[in-house]
A and B are shown apart, each in its own frame.
Chain A
């Protein structure tokens, strides 16, 4: 056994001569967008770019307007750039960024990817590194702030008074049928669910952060939404922490775990251009654990 360890260590010593591994933290925005697409240093959607947000942070911008399918290539470009070869990624998402990440992993997570050099051009596309490919990307885990992978009733109700293609994707039935949310290739999605929402309490079931209800931000499985709350609400099933079934028995998607439930109803949906709302909780987690 010791011999094996020595050999492994010596192999690693040899490898350091031609490979330098880097970890990156990718931030995938949600609806409305705002950052410059292809510019991985454009954090307009989130807040000041000087704010700490995990090791080697990169803003993976998409327009937040067109459909998930038509914009997914921006995410694939970024994953190719920073999460192939010897480089690895931590991922943070907000709102529809969760739907985007889940869609990309479930549909393309097992595809052959060319290894890239982490040096993007102005379109956000990187050059090849050694001309070889690998299966899928190198992703350690995902943290989802108010994940909209399960859609939002605001889209169901037409409460967003716009007719953008993304809104039709965010209808609860559509978002949940779009891909197999359990298929993350064993990569964990840690869910952060905000509950400081009152404006749409008649439309969004259970607890919400003014845009997304707990059934989605908590990763509750199923073809439609439902009403989930904090334990203080006696008239509504609890969204449980971790991977446990919720009160009432409903399951979560596999490899989805509730890391944060907003019991004090302190966090809304919005970044307010300064990493605020539920994103502030995820940002802290990224700072502490995306190393």
Chain B
């Protein structure tokens, strides 16, 4: 039974509203008492959330299934007391997990993460494939017919094209005859804006264009907004394809977000260097539209294993800029990838605040971008990432853990504390 279903609907110890000014003095007094408590606690010889010191290589993030799988101990307790104790144990486990997992994950910066943390970001240029029941034009769905669809991208840079495909199969996966009756693309507009032109998209199963195999029952079509009446459109383009399978008419929609704007262009050759114990890829970018740019790049080792996802997220001014994608030193030391490392598949966008569409893509750098020299592993730092943000979080989470433990200990001094994910047993 999950913790959330152990019912106790009464408000807890805290007020439902923020402390009022006239209560602040009381709060400060309480804080002082708490600090005195901390002083007493500090004099005791027991484990505490250690500063983020030596932590082994970060595993993929893990979390508990449910908090509060309490071992029955001692004599049976009255239900209320048992429930209260279980909740206190769950809160210790939650606080411990929050502290320990943050301590482990934050040993690398957000912009330099193991690829195992990003399982769906490794192949950004793979088509988006899905299988769903045939949506009938008359409403509802025919679950006896499954429609396999794909689109080569969702967000499009200026001048890019996108390929769509569809195929119908039965419950056994056998391809069913399919006829495309109409395929039209149109920009989605809302009240007060003029409708865009409709663009017809030819779909074919003849082995040409985006269709790799002729006469296999899979049809493909290509939308190239820049070469159509949608060249100036900035927003979501919906391609609606009507088709016929077994005498029934179905419809499927493909959405892409397109912008004709080119916010920045790559200029010059990328380079790499070891800087402050990390491997840094420098990509020159000429910014035409200033603002916040978010750029991602993937790093493979010499064996082709995906090692890391590198992210840049900063505000850039107009003109020449340097996009730095940093492979954090400790991540390199922990992952021990086979040198040399290769940066590939770089994509990014200008993030536009408070508007829709919210981005203008920079041109994609598809495939290999740069292979770094084989630097000595010793040139990389083994130090954990440190920052004000990390210290702030670890301080708060450590405090929460101490308080949760103190509440449980006060309620049931004889009970052992739940084991910690990252600290030796205490008491």
Contact = CB atoms under 8 A, between A and B. Distances in A.
Given A9-B38, A20-B24, A285-B3, A56 B154 contact: no
Contacts of B357: 69
Contacts of A255: 61, 63, 105
A183 B75 CA distance: 45
B313 interface: yes
Interface stretch (A26-34, A93-101, A172-180): A172-180
Contacts of A198: none
Interface residues of B, number: 96
B9 A287 contact: yes
B64 A242 contact: yes
Interface in A145-196: 153, 156-158, 163, 165, 168, 171-174, 176-177, 180-183, 185-186, 188, 190, 192
Contacts of B356: 66-67, 69-70, 165
B245 interface: no
Contacts of B2: 259-260, 281
A282 interface: yes
Contacts of A281: 2, 4-5
Contacts of A168: 188, 236, 238, 255
Interface in A196-226: 202-203, 205, 221-225
Nearest to A153: B132
A57 B17 CA distance: 7
Contacts of B5: 260, 281, 284
Contacts of A165: 190, 356
A16 B31 contact: yes
A24 B353 CA distance: 26
B16 to A, nearest CB: 7
Dominant secondary structure at the B interface: mixed
Interface in B116-140: 117-121, 126, 128-130, 132-133, 135, 140
Interface residues of A, number: 85
Interface in B60-85: 60-67
Contacts of A52: 9-12, 16
A168 B357 CA distance: 11
13 contacts: A70-B356, A138-B392, A140-B98, A176-B128, A180-B296, A182-B118, A186-B61, A186-B101, A242-B64, A254-B117, A255-B61, A260-B2, A281-B2
Of all A-B residue pairs in the complex, the 8 with the closest CB atoms, nearest first, are A5-B42, A69-B358, A257-B63, A285-B4, A242-B65, A224-B130, A177-B154, A241-B65
Interface of A: 2, 5-6, 8-9, 12-13, 16-17, 20, 22-24, 52, 55-57, 66-67, 69-70, 72-73, 88, 107, 109-111, 118, 134-136, 138, 140-141, 153, 156-158, 163, 165, 168, 171-174, 176-177, 180-183, 185-186, 188, 190, 192, 202-203, 205, 221-225, 241-244, 251, 253-255, 257-260, 281-282, 284-285, 287-289, 291
